[in-house]
Amino acid sequence: MNTEFAHTVFIRGLEINACHGVHDFEKTQPQLFVIDARLNIGYSPEVVKDRLEGTVSYSDACKVIEKTVLNNTFNLIEKLAAECAYSLLNEFPLISGVEITVKKPEAPVKYKLDTVGVNFSAQRVKAYLSLGSSQGDRKKYLYSALRALNDVRGVKVLKISSFIENAPYGGVAENMFLNCAAEIETYLSPFVLLDEIHVIEERLGRVRGKRWDDRTLDIDIIFYGGHVIEDERLTVPHADYINRDFVLIPLKEIAPDFLCPLLNKRVKDL
């Protein structure tokens, strides 16, 4: 990837008076917030040509932050920092990652200090999902799930594989499955993405009964960028994807050159 003119835009000490805090008076009496932002911008040929289209205007970025701060009221400045980051990522596709610092120098604490604050960062990553259905109108469920994913704030569906029909896996389900893979771009953390996936599955009739049983919809996170996650809620790369043709075949179609961070092999070579 060409990294020439990849750069970071930074804003320091943006002062905004707004109402955020856990106390009742903080929700009605404006206090000073001081915000720093670092915006990572990928390569753009427009920067090489000395054109504004290849970067993010400081003024426009400040406007987005100011609108987010003034048009909301949050208990936590952690939430405020996250919303500022998400608003910038939504508004400017050129931003690959953002770090926000929110400081509250007039925080109502009994200690003598200069300021308190939080840092929050978010990065765009490409993630790969496996989708399957074995009940009802299987194709309709898959298309509905893909539309629902694309409607989630912070998720953009980039590629969809062909649909393939497969025998059930695990020896419990009785119906044939219809499966596909999707490449998405997201700035949601893997656990927030997982929560959104569970909401979509439930909305489309998923009932969590016996493992590997028939279901209206199943969505698994196979890869989340180059991250390796081992948690009781989530394992990435997916623990058993290498043994599932209904995962690998669609993945090879849309991401043949993706490098598995555990096996250090490209998908097309698995």
Give the bridge partners for 17, in sequence order. Answer: 32
pLDDT of residue 43: 76
β-bridge pairing 235-236 and 229-230: antiparallel
Q: Is the pTM of this model over 0.85?
A: yes
Q: Domain locations in the chain?
A: 7-123, 125-269
In the residue annotation, 220 being an active-site residue is answered as: yes
Whole-number Å distance between alpha carbons of 200 and 178: 17
CATH topology for the 7-123 domain:
GTP Cyclohydrolase I, domain 2 (3.30.1130)
Please pick, among 124, 138, 214, 215, the residue that the annotation labels catalytic.
Answer: 215
pLDDT of residue 206: 77
- Does residue 45 have a cis bond before it (omega within 30 degrees)? no
pLDDT of residue 79: 97
Give the type of residue at 187. Y
Greatest alpha-carbon span in the chain: 67
pLDDT of residue 212: 61
Structure tokens at 240: 């058993």
Please pick, among 138, 206, 214, 244, the residue that the annotation labels catalytic.
Answer: 206
CATH topology for the 125-269 domain:
Alpha-Beta Plaits (3.30.70)
pLDDT of residue 77: 96
Whole-number Å distance between alpha carbons of 255 and 241: 14
In the residue annotation, 215 being an active-site residue is answered as: yes
Give the bridge partners for 198, in sequence order. Answer: none
DSSP state string for 157-225: EEEE---EEE--SSS---SPEEEEEEEEEE-S-HHHHHHHHHHHHHHTT----STT---S-EEEEEEET
Please pick, among 124, 138, 214, 218, the residue that the annotation labels catalytic.
Answer: 218
Low-confidence residues of the chain: pLDDT under 50: 1
In the residue annotation, 218 being an active-site residue is answered as: yes
Main-chain dihedrals φ then ψ at residue 145, nearest 5 degrees: -65, -40
